[in-house]
Amino acid sequence: MAERICVAQIGAAHGTRGELKLWSFTADPMAVTEYGPLETEDGTARFEIEAARAAKTHLVVRFSGVQDRTAAERLVNVRLFVPRERLPAPADDEYYHADLIGLPVFMSDGRKFGIVVAIHDFGAGDILELRPEGEDTTVMLPFTTETVPEVDVAQGRIVINPPEGALGE
């Protein structure tokens, strides 16, 4: 299991006073404000949220010490993490994406298929990006109970039952 979880990514500067767009990856977007200082992926910088407000598809935040647009622009696209112990345990049918990436994937008949390389949400629900064993290309499948009937993080495996033709066969 991942020791740190990516909870947000900084977007563009917003205005002239150091505010930034923030894309929250938490179920409740404002929950990102409750987890304490956010850290860069390499852990070299920490950010405390002074203020946050909801916008249409993101949050607008002000970080302590970021006073102007120039300082804000230096942070664009930075991914922000928190230690796992600060986050609530996921419910039985919920998963942290970080725990799924890299898991082996098996077909419902037991054959090994490949691994999970990413999870995406393009607005209509989560999509698993899988790399078939021995291939350089990837395939995407909807992350639904029908297509993914079993996720066992403790045992380190995912079982898929893709719709006919979804894998190009």
CATH top-level class of 97-160: mainly beta
d(CA 12, CA 59): 11
Q: Strand (E) positions, 15-135? A: 19-24, 38-40, 46-47, 49-54, 59-63, 79-83, 104-107, 112-121, 126-132
CA distance 160 to 153: 14
Burial (CB count <10 Å: 0-12, 13-18, 19+), residue 5: buried
One DSSP character per residue, 141-158 reads EE-STTT--EEETTTTEE
**CATH 2.40.30.60 assigned to 4-86:** yes
- CB-side exposure of 57: number of CA atoms within 13 Å? 4
Mean pLDDT of 127-137: 94
pLDDT for residue 99 is more than 80: yes
**Residue 73: pLDDT over 90:** yes
Ranges of CATH 2.40.30.60 domains, the chain: 4-86
According to the model, what pLDDT value does residue 1 have?
58
Three-state SS letters, 41-55 = CCCCCEECEEEEEEC
pLDDT digits (tens, 9 = 90+) for 1-44: 568 889 999 999 999 999 999 999 888 899 999 999 999 999 99
pTM over 0.85: no
Domain with CATH 2.30.30.240 in the chain: 97-160
pLDDT of residue 124: 73
Ramachandran bin of 121, using left for φ above 0, alpha for ψ from -120 to 50, beta for the remaining angles: beta
Confidence (pLDDT) at 17: 92
pLDDT band at 95 (very low <50, low <70, confident <90, very high): confident
Q: Using alpha carbons only, how large is the chain's radius of gyration in Å?
A: 18
| pLDDT above 70: percentage of residues in the chain | 97
